[in-house]
Structure 1
Amino acid sequence: MKKNILIHIFMLLVCGLLFSNIITVDQTGAGDFLSIQEGINSAVDADTVLVHPGTYFENIDFIGKNITVSSLFLTTQEEDYVNETIINGNQNGSCVRIMSGEDSTTVLCGFTITNGSGSPWYEGCPSHGGAILFMDSQTSIIACNIFGNYAEIGGGIFCRNSQITLSDVDIIGNYADGGGGISTREYSEIYFDQNNLCNIYLNYAGRGCEILKAYSSPAMEVYVDTFTVFEPDAYFIMSTDTFAEPLNDVTMHIQNAKLTPINSDLYVATDGDNNNNGLTEDEPLATLNYALSLVKSDSLHPNTIHIKNGTYSRSLNNNFFPLCTRGYVSLIGESMDNTILDAEDLAMHLFNYHSAINYTIKNITFTHGNGENSFAACMFVNVRSRPNNFINIEDVIITDFTCTGRRLLELYNVDIYMNNVISLNNHSPTLRPSSSNQPEIDILIENSKFCNNDHDPSNGTVYQMLLGDSSFNPKNATLINCEITDNNSYQSEYPVRCSGIYVKYNVELTIINCTIGNNTSPNSGGPIVISSEGSGSSINIYNSVLYGDSPSEIYIDNEYSDNPASVTIQNSLVDGGCEGIQNVHTWNEVYWLDGNLDTDPLWQNEGEFPYMLTENSPCIDTGTLDLPDGIILPEFDLAGNPRISGDTIDMGAYEYQDSVVSQDIEIPINKTDINCYPNPFNPTTNIKLKLSESGIIKLKIYNLKGQVIRTILDAYASKGLLNIVWNGEDDFGRKVSSGQYFVRLEQNGNVIISKVLCLK
């Protein structure tokens, strides 16, 4: 049937040849011209430019002419001519541009179109349409192979304010930041021939791997012979409204699928092969893109892509960035120092927009990302109004980013847990979380270092880490055991600069055992700033060292007198003391409590850990263990030494190591609480109970259906700390499946519930 329909189209086109001028292009010199563009330049409306076999390293433009450009497939119907007549864009822009009002008589037929890099459709905009860029035109594309092209938007085809028909077109193996196969914008329609079916598969992008459709384009109905999978989700097809909420207005008619999704962990290695099954370390896949397309996203059965040591990049092994991450699919490297994702200053690394998250990124070094014309330099996540989403980032290094204009991590509307994250030697701000579409978010950053970073003042950012946004939704942030040192904020038109943490609306920030030093900002500012938009925000600082920062340690500039901000400091060393804190407005409060110091902390100032304390440091044994409810101190300091040594805890992120480590330090407990770590877990998690009173306690695990699957404890317990290990089994000794569970503690009529996630 398909062949008969093609013959029908062929006959119509051949009839057209009888009434048009035929211009031949042949690289051997036997035709009218040697290049396709020369043929187009000499043509007039209704002419046909007939191209003989060969590879044409060109970037052709129809320049408003309503003509047919075709290989000898047009006159012979021999499919070999499609493969033998190649338009190679030579990474010099779009291979084909049809963007000057061409009408519906315009036809492109019978070519292989490859190696395009897209073109801007106005000065300074990102590249669009790696293979073909359509604007303000109506065109039919017939019997073309489109593969191996790249653009920032629309790796294969980009269509703006145009109507195009695709007949027997293969769009395979193209990649983009957005819309790996096809991207539409404004009022654009794509008609898929229902008889001469297209193939669209294994294209890659940070959003919309196969299709990215703009809200302004009408609903799309796609007819294909082969698509990547039978049931594509938002990873493959993205269509959103003006608020970036899913429209679900792309209807798919798929006869065959290239891949069968695998609901299991997968393995990737630099010496892998995408023909392997990917199910074991001995049969790894070759690329992360392929693994992400193959793995199944399943909330009831979270999966992990395991990444072997090695460097993964576009030039080395065809790993294209950004990767479009998938909900409930974690990326875990073999080791944080030796599993390296190198974006080669071409793109950001990871992207996830308005789909579920709930995954872990672990044991990876991210380097050489680029956020120009993008959403972030390293990682962008935004689930918008989807509730109950989190992201865990553990044992990760982010280094050597030289981009401008974007933060490294833009993480919106998700709860964030960061542990052992090192941001080092970057020319970009590090972190910007947001809760504009969520009623509240929680951020916990532990055992992490933000060192020797700066940023370009031309991009308008004034901070290294932004907490808060223009919404008044609460943000609860806690930093424990972190180092923020040697960061620089350059001079700019903004009067207040921040070399560390910049706080806006309605943030409750708790800083415990952190070392903040030798950061510099011009004009006003410092490493901790409550901005002019810091309405209702509060900062509570315990056991921390703030020293050697310029021009001050803490700067408070909240302009909302009806909703003042506050800073509370206890058992901490602050250079300049209470008087050195710059409080611009009288309505904002500074609470200088007991145990604070204003003196030199006597850091080591050399070696692997220059901010460790020396033996005569005034910070030794001067901290407090009377900490806010729910705080669980880490077992080790930033150097890997026991967190408590000597009589009590020290100030700062590094504990001076006495010869004797104290084992029995009484920690005051004023409120009963639960803390589970690790979370997510596999196969066990520690359930740490802080009991503020004695009595009968009942500790049970519930599944999402509200069913009790495990009773861990039903007994009397004394006031204090209690640590219980759950081995991930139910009451019958069966391992529980991946998914979310609830830990329920009942004592003396009071109930506390904590969520844990099992990831396998």
Structure 2
Amino acid sequence: MKRMLIVIFFTTVNILFSTIYYVTQNGGGNFDGSAWENSYPGDSLQVAIDSTHRGDEVWVAKGIYKPNSWPHSLSPGPEREMYFAIYTDLYGGFSGSEIDISQRDLKNNETILSGDIGFVGDNSDNCYHIMTNGRYGSNVTVIIDGVTFTGGNAEDTYGTGSAFYNHDSELTIRNCTFHNNHSIFLGGALGNRYNYDYNTYMIVENCLFYNNSSRYGGAIFSNGESTIITNCTIVNNTAYDDGGGIYLATEEYEWEVQFGVNEVSNNIIWGNNCDTQIYQYDTGYIKFYFNAIQDGYSGFGNYFLSSNNEGDTNSPYFTDTDKNDWTLQSTSPCIDFGVYWNAPETDINLAPRPQGLIYDIGAYEFKNTEPNATLPSVSTLPAENISATYATLKGDVTDEGNAQVIAKGIKYSTSNGFDPETEGKLVRLLELIDAGAFELFVTNLSPNTIYYYRAYCENKFGYSYADNELSFTTSDSIVINPDANGIVYIKEEGTGDGSSWSNALNGYELQNGIDHPDATEIWVAKGIYVPNGWPLVDVYHGTTEREKHFRIRPNKKLYGGYNGIETSIDQRDIKENETILSGDIGVKGYSEDNCYHVIYNGGTLIDNSAVIDGFTITDGNADGTLRYSTLLGGGIYNRACSPRISKCLIKNNYAIVGGGVAVGSDPAYPIIENCTVTGNIAELYGGGIENEGAYPTIQNCLISNNTAGKEGGGIYHWAEYITFGDSDTLKIFNSTIVKNIAPIGSGIQIKSDCMTGFNREIIQNSVIWGDSSAFTFEYEALYGSIQTISYCGITGGYSGEGNIDLSSDNSGDPNSPYFSDPESGNWMIQEYSPLRDAGVWTSNVPLSDLAGFSRDAIPDIGCYEYDPTSIEDTESVLPRTTELYQNYPNPFNPATNIKFALSKSGKVELSVFNIAGQLVRKIIDKEMAAGYHNVKFEADDLNSGLYFYKLIAGGKELTKKMLMVK
């Protein structure tokens, strides 16, 4: 068996021609800092720093050092504004005699930088910041190593990072302790903030944070371009709002910013006072893995810690929390639990890592006198399911070693007897697995080729290759035979040529089915399909793994929603036979390695005859860069093309711009119809849909629960690049745009800038409902822009024929929209909704609504047409609990609707009582099925006054009040 154990070499790298400046508490000799015997005194620490040039270092001996100057000021200011300004690497932990940095003893030679410049123990007169860099526009790169920061109190304008405030610079801070620091706003101890003009990178490793406090991020706040936190212990800090230990955010980046790496690994985060130990403003950029976190946290290999230091298997078992001794006891689960990726070579006391079998989590490595590292064992098994371009390759983990296997893989090559250490391609998936057989589906192989392969596995301290090498030969070519009607049939696990359902093509050949020259329609059965190639490679798109995608071709029609037996398209049941196009090509549930776009369409030959119909499109993650357009359209990115996207559910995608869908480039006239766009996120613009310079039509669509960090939670429309003539740049008909989130334009944000002529936005028969900024129009035109917004229900109202000023409350007044059940996602309107029969019939009105119900002679506003027979059938999920809802309308005269939910079938009583408690009407007294129910209560014979209605069902008695006003 070929194995590789990770070996750590300890080296000291000295920069040629660098100068070291020495500082001790009292100084010595001629006080010029040229040697320990001529060291600068402690009150000249800033002088020592100011004497340095790039590549120089400052070595500081044990002792307490306090700021005593204003480095960036022309004249002195208040004493609390004094601080150390750092421009070079600074190391602490010296006794004052060392000749090499490796001789330091950090534990016994504590170098303390203190902000306690006034009355000792009274923090009200402490420095706002103990140390800063880059705060006044100087982009610097520094290392701070082996220092204790205490007593900072950031009550100034910035209110950020009282111990260390990193602004517009590149900081590495390691082997440091931060305690008893306070900031009024961000990062009790450490604040890392980004400015557009400079890089802001921060690496924090082997650091201890305790007893720090702030409003956001009790210990650490960071919104820099790149933040890496490794092997830190972050405990007993306080945040008054969010992030007891850490608050991580992503600044509102401009598109041209190149995004860095954001990783949090091998840390202990415990006992911090806040509802959340960690708060992430944005979930798409930061990787959390192999951390031990109180109450747990999502991420690969993270460990759940209980709130008690001792007493159960999930307790951290620190040595003495009362005395702030955060080393580990031998029973701690944090021992031998870390991962070697990016792990430092030593711990906070410079003890070598690992001491035991593998790396410990946190700042301290537990000393184990009997290390016994054992790697896993693996063997190679025969391949299966071999085609011209793919195969299932298998291995067998015969021994896990001394730690659970955390990755499985296959190394393959076209060379017989290849060396797996230096040759071949490794397909590796992070996944916690037990001993036994495993398999990986390998794609993008060449036809008629012999491949040789070895199995691979890995635990937390090393990896192994199998001794035995096996081989397989791919078939001559991909055989695809459309039927007589030009239909290619595809199933997730098909093994045929695509000529029928019984001979369906394998799902990994979906794009090849689309590309076949004789195929006119592609029918896809239920299942999950992921991209495995690059059908569109151009100046905007390359061939990395994450750039894989699906692409529609001109005149092709791609249909999902089949069971696998249908003979016509109208036999489909899209809801029952969910056909998923997923960007989750790597570790399942881990978005960082997902495709940038699930679908990437491009080219003017793609017109409305190209159809994508009946799919769920999910898990795209367009977190890339503008240069390659990999920040646009996580679900679908349409560039200079005009496909018809119909009956699709576009959900849970992420992008910098256009979370669900991004369309752009003139000429492009895409149609999005009968689609639901929900749960998508954009870092900047267009949580659901973003358009820049195209002419999209959106009709009969539900756009809900999407989020944008800046503008356009539901839709963001920018017509700046439309330059000639009068154009309908955006058309929205009979759509419901609800419950989306954005600081500006939570529903829709429109911007228009026309060089010649007029841009025109047409919105008709649509609902735009949410908070007071649900609809926003921003006019930025050189020549002009025309909006025709009519027969729409808009929160806050908007001028135009037939428009309704909707209340932000779903029920309770005449202008409430009265959706059926927004909390459960049922956006159908009820009988008394002002949206009913409030639209206008034009040639643009679809004949049926999103649910398939026919439109009335006077259409309703929104994507759903009111149909009293459909109220109970529209819920796709049974209620989790039995509930009684507020009647609507309320007050009422003479009738009202009472809605309730039953979590299970059974006997139901619904009764009405007067204010004296007397029964006036028993509306329901019978067995009823689980589900959502609605009943109309008519009260023509009752007097005005307050009444109570009571539901008895499922062991519950629920009562609500209603008011009858005649």
Determine if the TM-score, normalized by the shorter chain, exceeds 0.5: no
Compute the TM-score of the two structures, normalised by the length of structure 2: 0.35
Compute the TM-score of the two structures, normalised by the length of structure 1: 0.43
Larger Rg: 2
